[in-house]
Amino acid sequence: MLHQLITRETIVLKDFVSHWKEAVRIASLPLLQLKYIEDHYIQAMIKIIEQWGPYVVLTPHVAITHARPGSGVNQLSMSLLRLKESVSFDRGKEVHLIIVLAAVDNHSHLKALAELSNLLSREENIQKIIQADEADEILEIIRQYSNDVEISGYPRFPGSA
């Protein structure tokens, strides 16, 4: 499922950005252009981080940004921004990978999130993604962690085999 959400069209490769807000906006841009999210979803993600702090930095080098399900989300989607130089979300919260999660409800994204968690649990995967020069390199890593295991009690992602 993860490979159905993070695709060549939803990966952005940049060397650096000047501020974490810029990183969130740039990471969201593919989803906005594809009309999977509305602009106010981006503003909601930024506002939540301003209010609650950098809780989105879940592991060294990685932030997963999101807002309330359905709030400006037209379709379940994810995007990924890879930065060569880290951006600071707060002191000691240096991030190279910003993943935007846009959920339409409280459960349809859980399988992809589980696959993403499995991928990010290995530091070598994070480093490979940071060092990647092309989206296809990142997609190959994602494909290794994307499978068709159904989470008990939750429906499969539409279109998955």
Question: Which tokens go with 13?
Answer: 């490769």
Per-domain residue ranges for the chain? Answer: 2-144
CATH number of this structure's domain 2-144: 3.40.930.10
Summarised one tens digit per residue, pLDDT across range 72-116 is 999 999 999 999 999 999 888 999 999 999 998 876 777 888 889
Q: Which residues pair with 102 in a beta bridge?
A: 77
Query: If residue 94 lies in a helix (H) or strand (E), which one and from where to where?
Result: strand 94-102
**Confidence at 69, pLDDT banded by 50, 70, 90:** confident
Residue 66 appears among annotated catalytic residues: yes
Question: Which tokens go with 53?
Answer: 């702090």
Residue tagged 């060549």 (tokens): 8
| pTM given for the model | 0.86
Catalytic residue chosen out of the listed positions 61, 66, 96, 109: 66
**Confidence at 119, pLDDT banded by 50, 70, 90:** very high
